[in-house]
Amino acid sequence: MTLLSLRIPVVASVLATLLSPPVVSQTPVDTAAALRAADAAAHAWLALVDKGQIAESWDEAALSFQLAVTKPKWVQAVKQARGSFEPFGARRQIMARYTLDLPNAPPGQYVLFQYQTNVSGDHQVVETVVPVLDGKRGWRVSGYFVRLEE
């Protein structure tokens, strides 16, 4: 057996592991504890984005997030989405929901947070932050969306 023929199964195994959905526990979940842990992860991640550490926010995101968007594309997308609203000010949580099922996402433990956020020009935006329980890495952000509140 050649070295190349050994590499293909190893690469396929690694890819299968990386691309498989997060493991969903069959045991009861302490939803309150999950909400607290996900909230702490969301705030730490948002602090990176607020400080302009966008590349670092990609590094700290969930693996599914990193596989979906490259770091350079993420940096560009954040600058486009947030640029005209900078600086972002005080946030007020308007929604927190724990779920095991999200549309177009693999099964897993997710929390959807929405924040009403003050931005420049006396405007407000709604930020949606979606942490996922990312295996041994703990709660990591898997989605982020910003829209102008009308």
Instruction: Kindly report, residue by residue over 117-150, the tens digit of the pLDDT.
Output: 999 878 899 999 999 999 999 999 999 999 988 7
CATH for 77: 3.10.450.100
Report the pLDDT value the prediction gives residue 74, as an integer from 0 to 100.
96
Q: How many domains does the chain have?
A: 1
More confident residue, 106 or 96: 96
Report the pLDDT value the prediction gives residue 28, as an integer from 0 to 100.
62
Q: Which band of pLDDT confidence, cut at 50, 70 and 90, is reported for residue 37?
A: very high
**Considering the domain boundaries, does residue 69 fall inside one?**
yes
| Mean pLDDT of the residues in the chain | 83
Amino acid in the structure at residue 92: R
- Single pTM value for the model: 0.78
Range of the domain at 119: 29-148
